[in-house]
Amino acid sequence: MTSSRWIALAALALTCSTPAMAKDWKTVTVAMEGSYAPWNQTDASGKIVGFEVDILNDVCARAKLECNIVAQDWDGVIPGLTAGKFDIVMDGMSITEERMKTIDFSIPYASSPVAFLADKNGPLANLSNKGKMIDLSKDDAESKAALDTLRKELTGKNLGLQVSTTEATFADKYLKDVANVHEYKTTDEHDLDLMAGRIDVAFADTTYFLGTLAKPDAKDLEFVGPQFKGGPILGPGIGAAFRKTDKDLQDIYNKALKAALDDGSVSKYSLQWFKIDITK
């Protein structure tokens, strides 16, 4: 064996036997969509602001981290995270079993059911079970009856939702064989089509729709039908997303987030942005 080959093999052996050094986290990059009001939205100056920005600023101050926010389209947040483009995703993302096959999550910092929005004078204004909360973690007769009724009433109707969301997964399981499902790159796009009458109903997170209803051009819209939460598709709440290899960063974030939840700071941000406390 030549000396050069021996040196190369020795170096390889040393590399393989040395455990990977944990990263010294001082600066992190956090991705947000910047168009999911009031979770995160872009203001007139081009700055991303919102509920999740306030949480992030609080967490980073407690953890002594420098946190830089970058805008990323929704359908690229998980691929970008796993590819190392950024370190954390905060974008109203539900903690689900399917997503946890690829990424990890923080403890939940909010919980919000999904709901339907339609024209108050349109064909779905009287969708059954208005305002009723259906918990899909309870696989019971009430859940089955509500889903059966929803399927009948949405048959042949045009339903709009954002691509790659829990709402899309819900529709894929329960509604795609009866309704005409239209997927949009952003929630703003399905709102515009709903207001223009190009779809009959939109399907998104309840708290997102609170922002929609606050807009002057949404005066003819209202919540219709039931709301859904829980189960494998909708999950236990909303959290920040991490690569599975970054357990140390996840632990740092969770410690600071728990402190912000415990002292009521996150509740304060929720009341500021949503007018309700969605941390409970």
pLDDT tens digit sequence for 148-171: 999 999 999 999 999 999 999 999
Model pLDDT, residue 280? 76
Confidence of residue 7 (pLDDT cuts 50, 70, 90): very low
Model pLDDT, residue 204? 97
pLDDT(10) > 70 = no
Model pLDDT, residue 23? 81
The DSSP 8-state label assigned to residue 85 in this structure reads S
Identify the H or E element spanning 134.
strand 133-135
The DSSP 8-state label assigned to residue 22 in this structure reads P
CATH number of 25-111+236-274: 3.40.190.10
Model pLDDT, residue 22? 59
- The β-bridge relationship of strands 40-42 and 48-49 is antiparallel
The whole-number average pLDDT for the span 175-195 is 97
CA separation, residue 123 to residues 118, 126, 228 (Å): 9, 8, 21
Confidence of residue 93 (pLDDT cuts 50, 70, 90): very high
Model pLDDT, residue 17? 39
**CA 107, chain centre distance (Å):** 13
Model pLDDT, residue 56? 98
In percent, the amount of the chain with pLDDT more than 70 equals 92
Question: Do 114-234 and 25-111+236-274 have the same topology in CATH?
Answer: yes
- Residues 94 and 238 sit within 8 Å (Cβ to Cβ): yes
50 vs 6: which has the higher pLDDT = 50
Contacts 24+ apart (CB under 8 A), 123-127: 123/157, 123/200, 124/153, 124/154, 124/157, 124/200, 124/201, 124/224, 124/225, 125/222, 125/224, 126/224, 127/153, 127/201, 127/224, 127/225
The whole-number average pLDDT for the span 125-141 is 94
pLDDT(8) > 80 = no
The whole-number average pLDDT for the span 106-132 is 96
Model pLDDT, residue 13? 42
**Burial degree of 20 (CB within 10 A; 0-12, 13-18, 19+):** exposed
Domain residue spans in the chain? 25-111+236-274, 114-234
Model pLDDT, residue 9? 38
Confidence of residue 42 (pLDDT cuts 50, 70, 90): very high
pLDDT(237) > 50 = yes
Model pLDDT, residue 6? 39
d(CA 70, CA 81): 12
The whole-number average pLDDT for the span 67-78 is 97
Confidence of residue 20 (pLDDT cuts 50, 70, 90): very low
Pick the CATH number of 114-234 from 3.40.190.10, 3.40.50.2000, 3.40.50.12170, 3.20.20.140: 3.40.190.10
Model pLDDT, residue 48? 98
Alpha-carbon radius of gyration of the chain? 22
Query: What tens digit of pLDDT does each residue of 194-222 get?
Result: 999 999 999 999 999 998 999 999 999 99
Q: Helices in the chain by DSSP H: which ranges?
A: 3-17, 51-63, 77-82, 141-154, 166-174, 187-195, 206-213, 231-234, 247-262, 265-274
Model pLDDT, residue 127? 97
